[in-house]
Amino acid sequence: MKRLAGWILSSPATLAVTIFLIIPVAATISFTFTAPEGVFAPYTDFFASGFQRTVLWRTFEVAAITTVISLGVGLMTAYVVSKCPPWMKSVLIVLAVFPLLTGVVVRSFAWLVILGRNGILNSFLQWIGLIDAPLALLYTQTSVVVAMVYLFVPLMVLVLIGVLENIPDDLIQASSSLGARPTSTFLQVVLPLATPGLIVGAVLVFTASFTSYATPHLLGGTRQMMMGTFLHQRAMVAFDWVSASTVAAIMVVVIVATVVVMTRIARRLNPMAV
């Protein structure tokens, strides 16, 4: 009876996921196998193109770099916030969440103002005499990574604060009383216990970075094309739906494979974490 009740309660969510997620993704992937040239012809053509392989690798590289930097910055920030007094913690959490209240496009446009040839950063560097001519900061991989980190660090902080707050202070005090230095306590006590939050945050940031469209389009342009912008080009500019579906299918496979690999790594590092 309890099992039946569980199936009944979960059926609306299961039905919604099936209709709005599983069926559309399955239909997109199955569309790639209808090419007249052959079942796997779209995938063969994709990986046969040096340009498309470069786009895939660039996307993976940007997403990986963004995830690593966001993990480092987010973990340090969340750890400091979790140790603050309650009133200060509330203020810092609000400040961390505040950027998320603004749209992605608006925040990406802000970096256009900062990194443009006549933007804030170039103007400041010229004003202090560090450079004579404006630097070409836009439409580079670095500009995309910087904007991505800015977008997703607040998300990482929110995920990690809840995990770090649940670590008992007694464990940290016990580690200190046994002679461990603060660095050793952090690496050997805090970090292993924070592994679940690190994995969840890394998966969220990597997925969002890998599938991002607005930020790479605005700050990377055609020079630093990524899978999201390439998918839009194939679907909305070239109207090549088979190629666009192939790109979407490859993105799904890469994301799923990355999640599986990260989960296995987490289990090896800490079998009790996941």
Q: pLDDT digits over 137-169, tens only?
A: 889 999 999 999 999 999 899 889 888 888 777
Is the model's pLDDT at 209 over the cut of 50?
yes
In terms of C-beta density within 10 A (0-12 exposed, 13-18 middle, 19 or more buried), how is residue 138 classed?
buried
* Least-confidence region, from 12-16, 47-51, 170-174, 205-209: 170-174
pLDDT of residue 2: 63
Position 270 confidence tier, pLDDT thresholds 50, 70, 90:
low
Report the alpha-carbon distance of residue 221 to residue 214 in Å, rounded: 10
pLDDT of residue 273: 45
Buried b (16+ CB within 10 A) or exposed e, 157-189: bbbbbebbeeeeeeebeebeeeebeeeebbeeb
Is the model's pLDDT at 127 over the cut of 70?
yes
Residues above pLDDT 90, as percent of the chain: 28
Is the model's pLDDT at 274 over the cut of 70?
no
If one counts every other C-beta atom within 10 angstroms of the C-beta of residue 72, the result is 13
For the entire predicted model, the pTM comes to: 0.87
- Cα–Cα nearest to 226, from 57, 67, 108: 57
Is the model's pLDDT at 133 over the cut of 90?
no
49-269 placed in CATH 2.60.40.10: no
Q: pLDDT digits over 65-111, tens only?
A: 999 999 999 998 998 888 888 888 888 888 888 888 888 888 888 89
Q: pLDDT digits over 212-254, tens only?
A: 998 999 998 888 899 999 999 988 888 888 888 899 999 999 9
Mean of pLDDT over the chain: 85
Is the model's pLDDT at 271 over the cut of 60?
no
